[in-house]
Structures are given as C-alpha cells and as structure tokens.
Chain A
C-alpha cells in the first residue's frame, strides 16, 4: 500500500495541481496581500524623485518569465508616469524590448504620455555587461537609433542625454544574466547610480546581499512582489489576480512534500520492524 502511494502516477499530481489553480483563478477569494519591505523601498525611492527626473528601465527578460515580470514592469512604469518622470529603456535580452514596449505603450495611453517626449525604447544590443558599460560613458555611441531605427537625435527626450549621469534611478526587470548583477557591478559600483530591481522569485534570494549593502535600493521579487507593487500604486492587476492561484499552488506543493515524507517515514518504520 505504502509503495503504491509512493509510486503515485505523476499525472495524478499534475491533475490535482491544475484543478486547484483553475478553481483559484475562476473563483478568487481575494486573500490579503502584505507588502514586504524590499518592494516598499523601491516604491519610496521612485516616489521621492522630482517630476521631470530621468529613470532608466532595463527589460532583461523573455516570455518565459513574463507572468512574473510583466505586471511589476507595468506597475513601475505606471508609477513613473504618474509621478511625471521621464523613462529611457532598453533590453539586455532581445525579447525584453517588445515586452517592455507593450507595457510602456499601455501605460502611456493611460497617462497621456508621448513616445520620444516622455519615454523612449532604445532596443537591444548584444553584449550584456559591455552594453551597460558603454551607455554609462557614451549612450549615443552604443545606441545611435531607437528600437524602430529612428535616429535618437530626433527624439526630444534624449536632448542633452549622453550617458547614465542624468539618470536618478536605474530599474532592471531581470530573469537571469545579463541582469541585476551586471547593473549593480557597473551602474552602481562603478558609476554610483541608484539601482533597483524586479526579479523572478527563483533568483530573488540571491540579491538580498545587494539590498543589505545598499547596492540595490529596492527589490520586487516574483509574482508576489508584483502583487505587492500593485497594492502600493493602488492599481490591482494581473499579479494580484494570480495571488490566490499561487497561494493554493504553494499549499498543494507543501502538502505533497509533507505527504511524501509521511509515507517515507511510515515505510521506514515498517521496514525496520
């Protein structure tokens, strides 16, 4: 019996998880979301910027992690536009450019912002850390055109912007390398820029040392972090909607861990007899 339970067909486990997630999405219970300190720090940092300040956003992710990073990117963009901040963005990951652009345009429409005046998307350049290093000293050399091929000299938002110097804050939405680590290494450690980040839940624990040392001004981790940020800007969105499903999915996984261990110990005890 115990052996049979231990060898439960994995499709049964998949089905249980799928049913729980679907039910949680279809019938949300609206669990309360507590805002964590790292997310609140990034929110406060953006709130403290004067209107008209420049913020640099880096979309360093792809569709695989968009469920976690897209909602937080949208929330940060919304906050920036609400505070009347100027956004210059790029992607260290090729697919991040279009994902970021979709969020920028969505928020721009809501807040009546104009491309080239209030925000710009520089696009993608291969090279990761070298791209960061390059724009830190000479942005125009690395990105002579925006992501659509338009000459950046034609864009009013970039008048007088030659490097990272005028930017009050850099925020990277990162799913891996190149990403947070590289922005901290170059933009923060070398050029003294304030860096904040949104990251996938799986890699967020790796960035806590940067948070404690002050090299990161804030950290939004995973879909939970995105939901927290939606609470902070008071605009609940996809992450908030997904919190119930994630909560119950975690509970199911914990149940399986406990259940698996209970069977393991019962079997061990019966074997020792």
Chain B
C-alpha cells in the first residue's frame, strides 16, 4: 500500500493533467485549478523542508567541528538575521531586509558570477583545442560569435556581426531545435512511464 497509493495518485493526476490540456472544460478545468492550488501549497512545504534540512546539516557540522564549520556559523547567523529582519520590519524598500539584500547579497552574488570570466579565460587557453575537424569548426564558430557579438567585432571586420548573427539564426537554431525536440520526446516518454507506473524511481527506496 505504501507504494501503491502514491502510484495511483500520480497516475490519476497525470491523466487529468493530460486530458485537461485537450479538453479545457468541466470537470477537467476545475480539477486543473484545484491541482494547481494544491501544488502551490505543497511547494511551500517543500521550501520549508529544504530550509529545515539546511539548518540540520549545518548544526551537525558545527557540533562535529567538521572542516569549514566556521562558515556554518556565518550561514546560520545570516539565515536567522535575514528571516528576523524580514519578518519584523517587512521587505519593502528601505527596510533592514532590503539593506542586507542590496549591500550584502547583491555584491556577493554578482562577484561569484563575475569570477566565471576569469575561469573561462584560463580554460580557453588550456582546453579549447582544434584537435579534429569538429573541434575546429566549434572553435571557429565560437571565436566569430564571441567577437561578432561585441562592438569590437565590427572594428575588426564590419561583416563580423552579420556572420555571427547568421551562425545564431541558422546552425545554432537548427542544433537548438534538434535538442529541444529530443528533450520533448524524452519528457513525453518519461511522463508516460511515470503515469503508467513503470517508472518508480521518483518514489525513492530501492
């Protein structure tokens, strides 16, 4: 029963969601709205679960004095401070929560992402090699797009942006479309397996 009930629920919800797309009338439209509402409520609990798990993980790390436990103190203090300021003074502009967001989270988040440029520069020097025809084509396309998509490209050759745009609109689009179709077919087949109860890995366990 522990496995059968979730399988039955999944199957019924799956079938209803597929049917309502093609027949957006009652009772399917009503069921669709109800399931949407339920999903939003369940998603909030999933968020809470994630939060509790995060706290548990870092408290354990602190207790056992695992490597990097100092960072756990910062994380937990940050978490409590952010939740408290948001709950007590709200999150509107000018609030302490907003202050934390603008002056701490924004610069830290932006800095982390900005570091990527440095790693790309290093990786491009070490790993981007024209070892065969495929790799050479990829390399040439990358160089053209990288230069053609920034103003310096037209200084080097005024047709470079046009060539870059052509690469984006034709070879890139064909590749992207093939990937999208592949993903869509995979999603359909996986969903059918879930609805029919063949695919059960999402239930966890064995």
List residues of A whose CB falls within 8 A of some B CB: 6, 8, 10, 13-14, 16-18, 21, 31-34, 36-37, 62-67, 95, 97-99, 101-102, 105, 125-127, 130-131, 133-134, 137-138, 141-142, 147-149, 190, 201, 205-206, 208-209, 212, 222, 224, 243-244, 246-254, 256-261, 264-265
Contact A148 B110 (CB under 8 A): no
B residues near A66, Cβ cutoff 8 Å: 106, 109-110
* Most central of A64, A66, A258, A265 by chain B CB within 10 Å: A64
Contact A212 B147 (CB under 8 A): no
A residues near B169, Cβ cutoff 8 Å: 208, 212
Contact B92 A102 (CB under 8 A): no
Contact B176 A206 (CB under 8 A): yes
B residues near A6, Cβ cutoff 8 Å: 126
29 pairs, A vs B, C-beta closer than 8 Å: A32-B154, A34-B151, A62-B109, A63-B105, A63-B109, A64-B112, A66-B109, A66-B110, A95-B109, A98-B102, A125-B40, A131-B40, A134-B36, A134-B37, A137-B33, A190-B21, A208-B168, A208-B173, A222-B149, A244-B151, A250-B146, A254-B143, A254-B146, A256-B125, A257-B142, A260-B124, A260-B125, A260-B129, A265-B130
Q: How far is the CA of A260 from the CA of B139 in the complex (A)?
A: 12
Contact B172 A13 (CB under 8 A): no
B residues near A141, Cβ cutoff 8 Å: 37
Contact B176 A247 (CB under 8 A): no
**Nearest Cβ on chain A to B15's Cβ, whole angstroms:** 17
Q: How far is the CA of A227 from the CA of B96 in the complex (A)?
A: 32
Contacting chain A: which of B6-14, B113-121, B193-201? B113-121
Contact A127 B43 (CB under 8 A): yes
Q: How far is the CA of A264 from the CA of B136 in the complex (A)?
A: 13
Closest 8 pairs between A and B when the two form their complex, measured CB to CB: A63-B109, A31-B151, A247-B152, A64-B113, A256-B125, A247-B150, A63-B106, A10-B122
- Interface SS of chain B: helix, strand, loop or mixed? helix
**Nearest Cβ on chain B to A191's Cβ, whole angstroms:** 10
Contact A64 B109 (CB under 8 A): yes
Size of interface on B: residues with Cβ below 8 Å to A: 58
Q: How far is the CA of A264 from the CA of B155 in the complex (A)?
A: 28
Q: How far is the CA of A60 from the CA of B180 in the complex (A)?
A: 21
**Nearest Cβ on chain A to B63's Cβ, whole angstroms:** 29
Contact A126 B124 (CB under 8 A): no
B residues near A244, Cβ cutoff 8 Å: 151
Contact B91 A147 (CB under 8 A): yes
**Nearest Cβ on chain B to A188's Cβ, whole angstroms:** 15
**Nearest Cβ on chain A to B95's Cβ, whole angstroms:** 9
Question: Any chain A CB within 8 A of the CB of B190?
Answer: no
Q: A62-B109, A126-B43 are in contact. Are A205 and B146 (CB under 8 A)?
A: no
A residues near B152, Cβ cutoff 8 Å: 31, 247-248, 250-251
Contact B128 A130 (CB under 8 A): no
Contact A257 B124 (CB under 8 A): yes
Q: How far is the CA of A108 from the CA of B172 in the complex (A)?
A: 38
**Nearest Cβ on chain B to A51's Cβ, whole angstroms:** 27
Contact A32 B173 (CB under 8 A): no
A residues near B106, Cβ cutoff 8 Å: 63, 66, 99
Q: How far is the CA of A105 from the CA of B98 in the complex (A)?
A: 13
Contact A148 B90 (CB under 8 A): yes
Question: Any chain A CB within 8 A of the CB of B54?
Answer: no
Q: B118's contact among A14, A32, A67, A265, by CB below 8 Å, is which?
A: A14
